[in-house]
Structure 1
Amino acid sequence: MKAVIRSFRVPFLVLTPVCVGLGIVAAWLTGAAIHWGDALVALGGALCAHMSVNAFNEYFDFRSGLDGQTQRTPFSGGSGSLVERPAAAVSVLNSALLTLAVTVLAGGYVILRHGWGILPIGLLGVVIIVTYTHWINRLPWVCLVAPGVAFGPLMVMGTQYALAGEFTSLAALISLVPFFLVNNLLLLNQYPDRDADAAVGRRHIPIALGLSASNALYGGFLLAAALTVGLGVAGDRLPVLALLALVPMLAAVFTLWGAIRYANDIPRLIPFMGANVLAVVTAPLVLAVALVVG
């Protein structure tokens, strides 16, 4: 059980309620009556999806031998739970399958409540969960955007549909903030593991294009996240208070500066990886609060 719980990477699950929260706010702003039972189903399904992809990642990285080669950091390289307890591998795989099943059941509940509109989002989410470690990590551009798609449009718009039974342009707009920032989260976390990842056949952006191009993409995604907020305010789609979401993004600017200087120096890069996590979690949270207040 200890290995299973560690494989879920519990400290990182905090990102999920933040993204679900954006979806709840989007539903509320478009006039939906919030049924908190539905909100709990959406949150539970999203958390189980996050736990499932993490557990699958732990299992497949252990089976491929990758976990034994990575230079583990607080933000990358897995939990190491199966390296320490190899006998728990089957339990971790079963936990991945069980949490995936709960996610599917949550999607079934939404279908019963609001119809089949959630199905495309659900199917794409399941595909990302199941294929991320074993296949998506071998396709550089798909690997670059898959995390952001999952935590941005799928999670934010899926939550809105679970509560309101419809998709709106507002949810699509605000989902772009976690889309761009979560892409950056996983992109930077791949820097320390690129040699070990390449040895087992992975081919994500830091491997395929190198660190300089990866830094440029990081900067482009960060700029796109900031422009999403700025243009949303300029176009009267978001309240002026939404500009407060730009403040946490300064931590990502600090991260980019560190990545440019220390991309090849993992011990020095670690504090900037922490700042990256801070930006990714805090900016959507501030945006959600600003939308409610504004």
Structure 2
Amino acid sequence: MKDNKKSVALGSMRIPFLVLPPTCVGLGVATALYSGGTIDILHLVLVLVGAVLAHISVNALNEYDDFKTGLDFKTIQTPFSGGSKAIPENPEKAHHALIIGVGSLVITILIGFYFIYVRGWLLLPVGLSGVLIMMAYTKWITKSPILCLIAPGLGFGHLMVMGTNFVLTGTYSWTSFAVSMVPFFLVSDLLLLNQFPDIDPDREIGRKHLPIAVGKKTCVIIYGLFLALTYFSIVAGWLLGLIPVQSLISLICAVLAIYTFAGVKKNADSIADLIPFMGKNVVLILATHILLALGIILGI
């Protein structure tokens, strides 16, 4: 029985995906340092915990909803889509995923209230927006093609990067806004690409994300456009004097971006052949985030 609970708990968290929030927080830390801020270790730890718990909450609530709607029984599992299948294998323990999702959400909100108390009410719009995205994503946002496209990028980009910067400095900055555009485009692309394998099952349960609305060919174009805008935003941030020249080290990843886009374009209709490029897309995102943060810090 304990093993079943553990399987559902760990499966619903989607632990391999939790490497993303620390890289986004890292970008916020880099912009805070570049703006002359100092790092309070307690605040940094709480921000990191809150970011990871927010991601866990979205993952667990999504897993629970996918089980309740029957989607889990229709999808084919891949390393990047189709759910963990932990709940269908242990349906009597499904409520543990709900407990983890709601519990993580509550702790995230409490951390947010703490930061509003110590940093002020200007953090409230970021916090409220984040909570709304977390609660609404699976049930409602996935029914709107445009919202479903941009919500992940807003959450991991603008809200996480700018929120971290505000918590550590007490202010928002144009530097943090410019840097937040990078995860905005990349994470939006991540979810867009990960929706490709589940188009038919998602359509059956009433979802209407962008691949359902406009098809894979158009989505491949959007995917490529967002990749281009990622690296354009880095160059623009440097030209506007918002980030240092050392930040341009992250442009190295544009080579991988071109290769990944070519693979996605060629294999969009073959999930088996697309999966390796979905993996390369994850590497691309993490590498770009890390190199950009490193470049900003080197430029201090």
TM-score normalised by the chain length of structure 2: 0.96
5+ unaligned residues in a row in structure 1: which ranges?
Answer: none
> Match for residue 109 of structure 2?
104
11, 26, 40: which one aligns with 2:16: 11
266, 283, 297: which one aligns with 1:292: 297
Pair 1:69-2:98 in alignment: no
Q: 1:234 & 1:115 partners in 2: Cα distance? A: 32
> Match for residue 41 of structure 2?
36
Pair 1:217-2:225 in alignment: no
> Match for residue 199 of structure 1?
204
TM-score normalised by the chain length of structure 1: 0.98
Code of the residue aligned with 1:142 in structure 2: it is: L
Identity fraction in percent:
44
119, 138, 142: which one aligns with 1:137: 142
- Deviation at residue 234 of structure 1 after TM alignment: 2.3
- Report the secondary structure of 2:42's partner residue: helix
Q: 2:275 & 2:256 partners in 1: Cα distance? A: 14
119, 137, 148: which one aligns with 2:124: 119
Given that 2:174 and 2:242 are in contact with CA atoms closer than 8 Å, whether structure 1 keeps it comes out as: no
**Count of matched residue pairs:** 294
> Match for residue 54 of structure 2?
49
Q: Residues 230-262 of structure 1: CA distance to partner in whole angstroms, max 9, x if unpaired?
A: 122223322222111122233232221112111
> Match for residue 26 of structure 2?
21
Q: 1:289 & 1:70 partners in 2: Cα distance? A: 39
- Report the secondary structure of 2:196's partner residue: coil
> Match for residue 236 of structure 2?
231
- Deviation at residue 181 of structure 1 after TM alignment: 0.4
Q: 1:160 & 1:25 partners in 2: Cα distance? A: 8
CA RMSD for the aligned pairs? 0.9
- Deviation at residue 75 of structure 1 after TM alignment: 0.8
Given that 1:258 and 1:272 are in contact with CA atoms closer than 8 Å, whether structure 2 keeps it comes out as: yes
Given that 1:76 and 1:189 are in contact with CA atoms closer than 8 Å, whether structure 2 keeps it comes out as: yes
Code of the residue aligned with 1:112 in structure 2: it is: Y
Given that 1:254 and 1:275 are in contact with CA atoms closer than 8 Å, whether structure 2 keeps it comes out as: no
Given that 1:250 and 1:279 are in contact with CA atoms closer than 8 Å, whether structure 2 keeps it comes out as: no
> Match for residue 185 of structure 2?
180
Given that 1:239 and 1:290 are in contact with CA atoms closer than 8 Å, whether structure 2 keeps it comes out as: yes
Given that 2:27 and 2:289 are in contact with CA atoms closer than 8 Å, whether structure 1 keeps it comes out as: yes
- Deviation at residue 175 of structure 1 after TM alignment: 0.5
144, 147, 168: which one aligns with 1:163: 168
Q: Residues 81-140 of structure 1: CA distance to partner in whole angstroms, max 9, x if unpaired?
A: 111111121111011000000100110110111111111111111111111111100000
Given that 2:227 and 2:257 are in contact with CA atoms closer than 8 Å, whether structure 1 keeps it comes out as: yes
> Match for residue 83 of structure 2?
78
Q: 1:156 & 1:232 partners in 2: Cα distance? A: 15
